[in-house]
């Protein structure tokens, strides 16, 4: 266990050691047990968290606010469009000023080729920890919750097969951050990771190469496939979700036209039957129901999406408790 993580930013899990990530999980499980038993844990009494949102959120805002309250502190919601951030506050100014008002800063900015750079610019200017609530490249808290859920449902993740697959959705061109963070983290923990997508929906080459190297170091495997059905076959965990073809086009209309070629990439009962009998279905939510995934799958016995959503609360509390003291 790593006992001194005070002041650490969490922008991507790649920048934390395996021992540090194990510590987060250990603390998250402890806090979850205490929450279930009604044991208070006001570890951050009188601490404050600034939550800066450039895009709205349901689970992220709710879980961070609830988590800070349960830890004895307070979270302040700051919306970029209704503050001076929309009229000239720079990333440096936000880091300098909010870093003096608050004990940590959490940011959600998924603008392509802007979000991650903005978060890092704030972190460079801040005297307090900065947390990535999702950017255009990474979504670290989501995948920590995913890993916690896999451990709960499957035990030791080493040697288990997870399929991270693109699926069709009609709503909007979604960020690459969830699939990219999934392949990075699960390869760190010795899983056999399958990345499945149509040719136009590739992930960033440098992220793919890091995942390949992670797998080599951990003893897991990493492979890229383009057959949706084959990706499900004999998998222990399936995680089909949509993302945009950002590396092919940044035009949302063109992306939507390309996606129309793959409307049959839907997680349904037939495909789930190709996986192992005790497979679990995962999704970060919200899902495009009966487009991206059928009701029978997302509401079925293999789905763990609500446990997965709950675990966002626990891993976030763990990181805040470890870094904001």
Report DSSP letters for 87-144, one per residue.
GT--HHHHHHHHHHH-SEEEEEE--TTTHHHHHHHHHHH-SS-EEEEEESS--HHHHH
Q: Is residue 8 part of a domain?
A: no
Please, are residues 187 and 211 in contact by the beta-carbon 8 Å criterion? yes
Chain position carrying tokens 């890092």? 120
Residues 159 and 253 in one domain: yes
Q: Is residue 3 part of a domain?
A: no
| SS3 state at 250 | coil
Average pLDDT over residues 159-178: 94
Q: What is the pLDDT of residue 82?
A: 87
Is the pLDDT at 172 greater than 90? The verdict is no
Is the pLDDT at 196 greater than 80? The verdict is yes
Q: Residue 23's domain is classified under what CATH number? A: 3.40.50.1370
CA distance 267 to 231: 11
CA distance 167 to 242: 5
Q: Is residue 5 part of a domain?
A: no
Residues 6+ apart with CB under 8 A from 208: 183, 195, 202, 224
Average pLDDT over residues 60-75: 98
Residues 158 and 290 in one domain: yes
CA distance 66 to 88: 31
Residues 303 and 155 in one domain: yes
Q: What is the pLDDT of residue 87?
A: 85
Residues 125 and 211 in one domain: no
Confidence band for 56, pLDDT divided at 50, 70 and 90? confident
Of 82-96, 113-127, 140-154, 189-203, the range with the lowest mean pLDDT is 82-96
Residues 159 and 279 in one domain: yes
157 DSSP 8-state letter: -
Q: Is residue 215 part of a domain?
A: yes
Q: Is residue 1 part of a domain?
A: no
Residues 304 and 175 in one domain: yes
CA distance 152 to 257: 39
Residues 81 and 167 in one domain: no
Please, are residues 291 and 266 in contact by the beta-carbon 8 Å criterion? yes
Residues 291 and 317 in one domain: no
Which structural domain, as residue segments, surrounds residue 20?
A: 13-139+312-323
Q: Which tokens hold the place of 128?
A: 């307090």
% the chain with pLDDT above 70: 100
Q: Is residue 240 part of a domain?
A: yes
Q: Is residue 6 part of a domain?
A: no
Residues 97 and 187 in one domain: no
Q: Is residue 7 part of a domain?
A: no
Q: How many residues does the chain have?
A: 325
Residues 46 and 95 in one domain: yes
Is the pLDDT at 122 greater than 90? The verdict is yes
Residues 115 and 182 in one domain: no
Instruction: Report the chain's mean pLDDT, rounded to a whole number.
Output: 97
Is the pLDDT at 209 greater than 80? The verdict is yes
Confidence band for 203, pLDDT divided at 50, 70 and 90? very high
Residues 292 and 254 in one domain: yes
Residues 263-307: pLDDT tens digits?
999 999 999 999 999 999 999 999 999 999 999 999 999 999 999
Work out how many domains the chain is built from and give that number.
Answer: 2
């Amino acid at each position: 266990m790593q006992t001194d993580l005070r002041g650490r930013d969490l922008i991507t899990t790649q920048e934390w050691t395996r021992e540090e990530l194990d510590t987060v999980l250990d603390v998250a499980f402890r806090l979850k047990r205490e929450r279930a038993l009604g044991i208070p844990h006001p570890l951050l009494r009188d601490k404050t968290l600034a939550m800066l949102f450039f895009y709205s959120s349901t689970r992220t805002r709710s879980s961070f606010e609830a988590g800070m309250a349960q830890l004895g502190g307070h979270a302040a919601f700051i919306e970029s469009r209704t503050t001076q951030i929309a009229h000239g506050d720079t990333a440096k100014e936000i880091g300098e000023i909010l870093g003096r008002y608050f004990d940590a800063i959490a940011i959600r900015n998924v603008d392509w080729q802007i979000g991650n750079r903005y978060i890092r610019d704030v972190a460079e200017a801040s005297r307090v920890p900065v947390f990535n609530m999702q950017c255009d490249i990474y979504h670290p808290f989501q995948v920590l919750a995913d890993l916690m859920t896999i451990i709960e449902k499957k035990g030791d993740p080493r040697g288990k097969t997870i399929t991270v697959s693109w699926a069709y959705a009609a709503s909007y061109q979604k960020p690459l951050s969830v699939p990219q963070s999934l392949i990075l983290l699960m390869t760190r923990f010795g899983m056999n990771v399958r990345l499945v997508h149509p040719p136009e929906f590739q992930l960033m080459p440098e992220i793919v190469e890091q995942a390949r190297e992670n797998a080599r170091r951990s003893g897991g495997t990493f492979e890229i496939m383009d057959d949706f059905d084959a990706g499900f076959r004999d998998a222990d965990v399936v995680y089909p979700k949509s993302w945009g073809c950002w590396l092919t086009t940044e035009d949302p209309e063109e992306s939507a036209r390309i996606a129309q070629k793959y409307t049959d990439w839907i997680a349904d009962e037939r495909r789930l039957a190709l996986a192992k009998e005790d497979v679990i279905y995962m999704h970060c939510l919200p899902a495009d129901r009966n487009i991206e995934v059928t009701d029978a799958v997302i509401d079925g016995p293999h789905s763990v999406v609500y446990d997965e959503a709950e675990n966002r609360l626990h891993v976030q509390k763990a990181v805040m408790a470890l870094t904001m003291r």
